[in-house]
Amino acid sequence: MTKAAISPTYCKTALSRTGIPGYRYCLNPYVGCSHGCRYCYADTVLRFSGHSGKWGDFVAAKVNFPEVLGEELRRKRNLSGRIIFGTVTDAYQPAEEKFGLTRRSLEIFAEERPYAEIDLLTKSDIVVRDVDVLKKLKKCSIGFTVTTPDDKTASVLEPGAAPPSARLLAAKRLAEEGLHVWAFIAPILPGLSDTPGVLEELISGLKEAGVREVYLDSLNPYPASMHRLRVACRDRLPWALKHLEQYLSDPRGYLKTLSEELAALSQKYGYDLRVD
């Protein structure tokens, strides 16, 4: 995969209202994402952002993001509702190692609003770097997105992200530090996430890592992301292509069958596993 071009940019706001159920605000310190996940539909959301490069090949760091956030927090007397980091980007993608925008933002929350309800969602193990700051936030949780337990498969689907094995190790480290860790299996990928034994292997690994809750989401069939996913399957994961096409032709039937497997796994591992 081509290394993403990283450029600085500036923002006028940091806290953005969101329609994501359960959340009032979202924070995205970067535009674009070098993880380049084949199934991601964030580029559809960002089609008016002014970036026309190939998804995964561009990242813009909002270099004044922490300062803007600090000003907004000082102006707001009441900051009610949950806040999530990383809805159209990954707040811990590789650019974070250089710019530290997420860490500085969390430090500001720790100073200004330590009881703010904050969730972080990432595919990176870089988050372990910030365990000291995370422990200062009284209502913070860390979620790891995973789609497969297999590092080789993930390298095709999520070429710029940390391997699943590294994410599970990071989850375990944070859980051992007493932090609230959860997981998001999103999306469930037909013929890849759900093949015999694979889903259970993933659930079992999350349980062993100390993950408290597991959430799941179905595949969103946006044309651009489906094109990328089809190409990846055709070129590198050909056995999955027919399963993908079957899902796209009858998603309700697929989800009904999957729900039965999830019910059995819920009982075995003590999670409430449901897919939307």
**Host domain of residue 121:** 5-269
**Cα 146–Cα 235–Cα 1 angle in degrees, nearest 5:** 65
**CA distances in angstroms from 256 to 32, 34, 212, 252, 260, listed in the order given:** 34, 34, 25, 6, 7
Contact 188, 258 (CB under 8 A): yes
221 within domain boundaries = yes
Estimate the crossing angle of helix 65-75 against helix 101-112, to 10 degrees: 20
274 within domain boundaries = no
Domain CATH number, residue 30: 3.20.20.70
pLDDT at 124: 98
Contact 61, 119 (CB under 8 A): no
Low-confidence spans in the chain with pLDDT less than 70: 1-2, 45-53
- Give burial (CB, 10 Å; 0-12/13-18/19+) of 36: buried
| CA–CA distance, 89 with 46 (Å, rounded to integer) | 10
Model pTM score? 0.94
pLDDT at 195: 86
103 within domain boundaries = yes
| CA–CA distance, 102 with 263 (Å, rounded to integer) | 36
Estimate the crossing angle of helix 198-209 against helix 251-269, to 10 degrees: 40
Report the domain count for the chain: 1
Q: Which tens digit of pLDDT belongs to each residue from 55-91? A: 778 899 999 999 999 999 999 888 899 999 999 999 9
90 within domain boundaries = yes
